[in-house]
Structure 1
Amino acid sequence: MHTSSSSVSLSLVSLGTIRLVVIALKALLEERHLHAYSEFVAEYNRRARELGVARQAAPPTKAQYYRWLGGEIQHLPRGYHCAVLERMFPGWTAKELFGSQHTPRGGDVMTGVRPGVDAAELAGLWVTSYVVDDCHHVDLSVVSATKDGVSVKNYPPSPRLEGHERGYANDIDAGVFGRHVIGRWRNVNDRYFYGALHLAVLPGEMTMDGFYTAVLTDTEVGDGRWTWARVDTGSAARVDLTAVTLADPQEVSTLLSARTRFDGPVALADVTERR
């Protein structure tokens, strides 16, 4: 979940004296290679400009910054500092950032990697394309937000595979980690085939780009690039997807591969056959 700057109280919130071996803020900065003061300040200023508070939100001094990382504070920093830090680390509150960073033992190794984009922002209809066995595959996938991330079904309409009567109908369950969607898929027609996916969510949430892996045999793994583009909501309104036929897989794949990160959604008519 994103935390807006308005959610940060401008009053000082008492935390008690904090003396922790590693606070979450320090661990997160190290993960993103922003631990050096100069690198932190550059990122801080960039996020402050995004919030429109650059003039009043001066970065902490070097001494103050290292007190933060050492946990040598009795209260949360000023409100504008909290707002900027929460902007730097979506899904984290200021209080959590200045709390301890716990490394999971056993359990889920992704614990602590918060979503950088709300799963609800990914919900909707997407057109996707990948290549398998040198053939282009396209489908229309409905993404739904869940409490654990997203679930996806790419039918109806029937997916299309170049040179074949039909494509692969799959179910997907995935989590959102930072701005990455990481999960698993399984074919609904032949349950022997399954695999994983890892997609980066580009700014604007109009494109996702990444890779899939797939079980080929008990001793072989396949992989390939997987491109997703959001379908314009208006163009798909009141459309019965069971009555839709996807356009030629190679044409749709060419359309998606030509997109840039600045492009908006795709019209449904551009990826389906005219009737």
Structure 2
Amino acid sequence: MRVIALKSLLEERHLHAYSEFVAEYNRTAKELGVSRQAAPPTKAQYYRWLGGEIQNLPRGYHCAVLERMFPGWSAKELFGHPDTPHRGDLLTGVRPGIEPTDLAGLWVTSYVVDGLHHADLSQVDVTKGGVTATNYPPSPRLEERERGYANDIEAEVFGRHIIGKWRNVNDRYFYGSIHLAVLPGETSMDGFYTAVLTDTEVASERWRWARVESGSAAGVDLTTVKLAEPKKIFEMLRDRTRFDGPIPLAQVT
């Protein structure tokens, strides 16, 4: 018997029991401001959902709450049968300690590569598998070079850690892994990247991220933005504490 995506996701987050589901449902409905209208499903309805015994999607408010509970998933997808597991088996039991939506937005990041400072602005978006990020536009900057490295990132949330992979889009040869810890307040992330240098060599360096103040970036055309000197940004992020708030865009441009 094929299991619907909703059941698999609830099991991953240890919300499969009806009482646990209802508590999370009510919390999410309150966030959406529909708690008075959106009563949770009855116990019988809930288990019909999980058993894939419904012909049509539930009422609209149910769908809205479920889509908020599982960012990146549509109600149709939640009640469908995924062709592949949503996550690998090994870390299935490691429940996210933060919501992926808490990470969405613009971040400034910096690291060292080949002894040179690199800096970029990365846009983090939520997907059904966790988060993705792209660091262009604006063009990333690399010390003493004409341009930096444009990368795509795919990652998942385990506890308060972001674990995933990245790939360079300039030449598609360079790729590697990323592992970041999300510090309290969700305004800083600190961790490491690994990178393929050659078929027999791996590099690893510290990678720091800081959230860009959303108001300072609102309405800004990032294609017209030029980042500040990479070393300046690197030192700014290096000297941050876990108590520092978001960085205004003007400080890194």
Interval containing the TM-score (normalised by the shorter chain): 0.5 to 0.7
Q: Which residue of 2 aligns with 1:218?
A: 199
CA distance, structure 1, for counterparts of residue 117 and residue 89 of structure 2: 35
Q: Which amino acid aligns with 2:203?
A: G
Q: Is the 8 A contact 1:195 1:212 kept in 2?
A: yes
Q: Which residue of 2 aligns with 1:170?
A: 151
3-state DSSP class of the match of 2:185?
coil
3-state DSSP class of the match of 2:216?
helix
Residues 115-137 of structure 1 show CA distances to partners (whole Å, capped at 9, x for unaligned) of 11100110000000000111000
Q: Is the 8 A contact 2:14 2:95 kept in 1?
A: no
Matched, 1:108 2:89: yes
Q: Which residue of 2 aligns with 1:120?
A: 101
User: 1:94-243 to 2 correspondence within 5 Å?
Assistant: 108-243=89-224
Q: Which residue of 1 aligns with 2:49?
A: none
Matched, 1:7 2:51: no
Tell me, which stretches of 5 or more residues in structure 1 are unaligned?
10-90, 92-106
**Equivalent residue pairs, number:** 177
3-state DSSP class of the match of 1:125?
strand
Q: Which residue of 2 aligns with 1:266?
A: 247
CA distance, structure 2, for counterparts of residue 122 and residue 135 of structure 1: 27
CA distance, structure 1, for counterparts of residue 196 and residue 164 of structure 2: 15
CA distance, structure 1, for counterparts of residue 89 and residue 209 of structure 2: 27
Identity among equivalent pairs (%): 68
Return the index of the structure with the highest Cα Rg.
Answer: 1
Query: Deviation of residue 7 (structure 1)?
Result: 2.1
CA distance, structure 2, for counterparts of residue 249 and residue 160 of structure 1: 6
Q: Which amino acid aligns with 2:161?
A: H
RMSD: 2.3
3-state DSSP class of the match of 2:250?
helix
Q: 1:253 aligns with which of 234, 237, 244?
A: 234
Query: Deviation of residue 190 (structure 1)?
Result: 1.1
3-state DSSP class of the match of 1:139?
strand
Residues 194-228 of structure 1 show CA distances to partners (whole Å, capped at 9, x for unaligned) of 00000000010000000000000000000100000
CA distance, structure 1, for counterparts of residue 156 and residue 147 of structure 2: 28
User: 1:54-69 to 2 correspondence within 5 Å?
Assistant: none
Query: Deviation of residue 2 (structure 1)?
Result: 11
Tell me, which stretches of 5 or more residues in structure 2 are unaligned?
1-12, 26-69, 71-87
Query: Deviation of residue 8 (structure 1)?
Result: 7.2
Q: What TM-score, normalized by structure 2, do the two folds share?
A: 0.66
